[in-house]
A and B are shown apart, each in its own frame.
Chain A
Amino acid sequence: KQEVTQIPAALSVPEGENLVLNCSFTDSAIYNLQWFRQDPGKGLTSLLLIQSSQREQTSGRLNASLDKSSGRSTLYIAASQPGDSATYLCAVRSGGYNKLIFGAGTRLAVHP
């Protein structure tokens, strides 16, 4: 059974720091991996999607890497800003009916 774990569960940093959020999964047979951002009252927004054949994806200050063989992904946030404060969720797509398996998330607070 696929399980997704995210470390750390919570993180508080001063503005300007570079951050690394970690995601690990137990079964390497995945179709893709996604990073989502969750803001209170606004649902989830997809940030980056990495196909199983890819090693990384970049969008602005965000970079996500995927090492499928070791079951790991990292989300790198450069020069963090208070507006980055949110919960970041990692999810893998696996299984016969293409469902998403989510980690519990990392709650990030960036203070001025």
Chain B
Amino acid sequence: DADVTQTPRNRITKTGKRIMLECSQTKGHDRMYWYRQDPGLGLRLIYYSFDVKDINKGEISDGYSVSRQAQAKFSLSLESAIPNQTALYFCATRPQGGGETQYFGPGTRLLVL
């Protein structure tokens, strides 16, 4: 079984709808991240969390919100989806300590019509 899972894997929605993307991990890591990837651009950080009570904005948080329901679960919500939020969304985890890499989920492909 995958260590970092994302649901749904693909989603089509309409402008103005509220949607939630979910991320779960079995790695026991404290730190979790949400990124988006657009064609021709690198991954950009939306939100990150160092533990259940610690939520922080990344560089492109406008239009998004998150919830860290438990150490293993980190959800990303689009309150009112718009077409320029069409992108590939990745969740990642990392253990405490600066030397370790991040572990990525398989991604959620979102299309906002």
Report A's interface with B, CB cutoff 8 A: 4, 9, 31-32, 34, 36, 41-46, 49, 51, 89, 91, 93, 97-105
Contact = CB atoms under 8 A, between A and B. Distances in A.
A101 to B, nearest CB: 7
A98 B101 contact: no
B40 A46 contact: no
A51 B100 CA distance: 10
Contacts of B92: 44
A75 B44 CA distance: 22
Nearest to B31: A98
Interface residues of B, number: 23
Given A97-B48, A97-B56, A102 B43 contact: yes
Given A97-B48, A97-B56, A99-B48, A43 B105 contact: yes
B58 A99 contact: yes
B101 A104 contact: no
Nearest to A4: B42
Contact of B43 (A45, A49, A89): A89
Most buried by A among B42, B102, B106: B42
